[in-house]
Amino acid sequence: MKEIGSGTSALVVGLGYRSGLAASNFLAGKGCRVLVSDLRSRDELADTIGRLDARVEVFAGNQEPSLLDRGVDLVVLSPGVPAVIPLVTEARRRGIPVIAEIELAFRFLRGSVVAITGTDGKSTTTSLVGHVLRSLGFKALVGGNIGIPLVSLVDESSDDTVSVIELSSFQLETIELFRPDVAAILNIGTDHLDRYASMDDYFRAKLRVAMNQSAGDSFVYNMDDPALSAGIGNIASRRLGFSMTNTDAEAFLEKDTVFIRDNGAVKGVLDPSRMKIIGVHNVQNAMAALLMVVSLLRKIGREPDYPLMAEACYSFEGLAHRMERVGVLEGRLFINDSKATTVGAVEMALKSLSGGVVLILGGRTKGDDYSRLHDPIAERVRFLVLIGESSREFAGIFADIPGETADGMDDALARAMRASAEGDTILLSPACASYDMYSNFEGRGEAF
């Protein structure tokens, strides 16, 4: 691909209010001729168009391949747009490069890169890595799928910056040269089968995070995930595993302490009970974060300060909508886990709680086998409140478990209160997307 800059004619496909908007303005700022295409109408896009660089030409309600006839020599694909639409297929047939906003940013980004993907835990781990790095004195930029387009951080980057990037499988589909110094896959669970033909396709997209790495780079992975451990055979970088049970891993839990294997020594580093973020999955996230930081420090020739890194883990507050303690009302603890849009995330949430649980479950399904939740719910949940489009389907799957169907969040909370007792936890952990009721999981969590 020729250098991106003045004289480049770029078509941004998908004017999302984050990635598409940021990519369009970034390209315009580099002197490119920028066209942007979106299936939505100009009225629907009015707010986003109002924030566009005035030089950007908008084609609303149009994703026709004929847009390529306007002299396009680069396509930047927003993550919400499938890479198989006719416009993208035709661009590739014509030999026009198709790249992600992440790839665009990488071409201009300075400094080191840590990239994190997986089915669950990405945002928490990404934020934790940034928090630990800042505690060590680094200028750490956190962006990507976490809600901050990486391209918007490019101008803040410098040779001593560390960019910590959360990546979805959608973003990874259209990278080319993207190469992180440290990459991680936290886990692989069933997800997005409404977009991918199979789990193998989904897994292959995730594995692209390490496809350009070499022996001098590091790859952190969950040794307790059988599919992940079995599927990383072709990765060329140095592999570092974390485990809750396997003491041969580079990070492992033993006797309520997280140990790190570093330069031939095994060091007790972290007491998980002192962390503010709760749950088994957050112990795993902390192990992964510590391994990533240590790997980066070793690559740049710096000694890890383990006590300082541990203190950073203890002070980390966590993120909203991820096992977030909302408060206590009439003796009931309310936990907002709206970000739990997969079966695996709900399983982890339930494992992390003791005592009686009233679970609010449901939304827009994503192609998963939700019957996998039957036994964990039957074992741990006192009462089930169903919400959203999935209510009818879930009422059948969980028919033998005490529960009711609610008409919206207010009704769900009223039913949860009536069904619970003092000392119980009322947990919103939906296992589904939010788009049937809310514009995003944040809106659902705020409503809760």
Residue 230, H or E segment:
helix 226-230
For 152-202, the pLDDT digits (tens) are: 999 999 999 999 999 998 899 999 999 999 999 999 876 555 666 677 888
Active-site pick, 25, 145, 222, 282: 145
For 19-35, the pLDDT digits (tens) are: 999 999 999 999 999 99
CA 71 to chain centre: 35
For 369-405, the pLDDT digits (tens) are: 999 999 999 999 999 999 999 999 999 999 999 999 9
Residue 62 annotated in active site: no
Active-site pick, 192, 206, 281, 321: 192
Residue 191 pLDDT: 58
Residue 122 annotated in active site: yes
Per-residue pLDDT for 279 more than 80? yes
The closest alpha carbon to 403, from 424, 421, 387, 390, belongs to 387
At 2, is the pLDDT very low, low, confident or very high (cuts 50, 70, 90)? low
On whether the CB atoms of residues 282 and 321 are closer than 8 A, the answer is no
What is d(CA 88, CA 353) in angstroms, rounded to the nearest whole number? 45
User: 0.75 exceeded by the pTM?
Assistant: yes
Residue 9, H or E segment:
strand 9-13
Residue 262, H or E segment:
strand 257-262
CB neighbour class for 310 (10 Å; exposed up to 12, middle 13-18, buried from 19):
buried
Q: Which of 17-31, 65-79, 188-202, 227-241 has the lowest mean pLDDT?
A: 188-202
Residue 192 annotated in active site: yes
The SS3 call for residue 95 is coil
At 349, is the pLDDT very low, low, confident or very high (cuts 50, 70, 90)? very high
